[in-house]
Amino acid sequence: MSNKNNMYEFSQNSTRNFIGGACPYQCKYCYVQDLKRRNEVIRKKYSGKPFLCHNELKKGFGRRDSSKIWFIGTMTDMFAESVPPTLIETVLSRLRQFPETTFLFQSKNPERFTEFEFPRKSILCTTIESNRDYPGMSLAPKVKERAGWIAAAGMEKELPIMITVEPILDFNVKKFTELLLVAGLYQVNIGADSKGNKLPEPSWEKVTELIAELQRFDIKVYLKPNLKRLIDKHLI
């Protein structure tokens, strides 16, 4: 867990945001909300209705590197219901021009994944923070809906599925494992709250139990650097 940034280490901090505007989910822990409070440029770009960032669309993806993963849409949910399908299709059409590049698409509304044609080396991902829905935490679809939708999208598109558990919220080990396995995934990414939002977090012991259960099913588990806080708390 040596990665110093808050992105996925396997994406090598390679990100692109082709759609601006506000995310409708208003998650309590969203790091973008914190950035918007501190940065006027970001506040303007990620407020209001969705729009295309045309200058970003003109850019390529550098040298061909099959090991590199580009994380698309880190600042707003590109597949939220509020985003017009024409905007999404414009982005995907551009990305399909790079068939040898691997793209990671992450959404809390993975039901819309079934509506579009993705580049052939895409990875589909959703966020599932717990097996429980916590009141006031987010306006995103319920966690069981996300799990079912990402499973359906993976089967229909025949693309690899990933789930991100970040920020990890307190959970029931058995029920959470069962919920995650619904998706037929190959990798789970686990991270903790990075912004001191005082969320209902699990103990490190419970996290390690979840990891062990997932690994029993040959699921790869990637631990994000911000989990160190939970580990340190366990050692006190």
Q: Of 178, 131, 128, 125, which is closest to residue 154 (Cα–Cα)? A: 125
β 220-223/187-190 pair status: parallel
Name, in order, each residue with C-beta under 8 angstroms of 229's C-beta and a sequence gap of 6 or more: 192
Q: Is 177 left (phi over 0), alpha (psi -120 to 50) or beta?
A: alpha
Look at residue 2 in the predicted model and tell me its pLDDT: 31
* Buried/exposed code over 112-126 (b: 16+ C-beta within 10 A; e: otherwise): bbeebebbebbbbbb
* Average confidence (pLDDT) per 10 residues, the chain, 236 residues: 50 83 94 86 92 91 73 94 97 94 96 97 97 96 97 95 96 97 92 90 96 96 92 74
pTM listed for this prediction = 0.91
pLDDT (0 to 100) of residue 152 = 96
Closest among 114, 189, 103 to 150, alpha carbons compared: 114
- For Cα atoms 143, 211, 147, give the angle at the middle one, nearest 5 degrees: 20
Strand partners for 122: 103
pLDDT, position 196: 84
Domains and CATH numbers, the chain: 9-235 (3.20.20)
Nearest of 167, 174, 225 to residue 200 by alpha carbon: 167
Contact 149, 110 (CB under 8 A): yes
pLDDT confidence of residue 5: 40
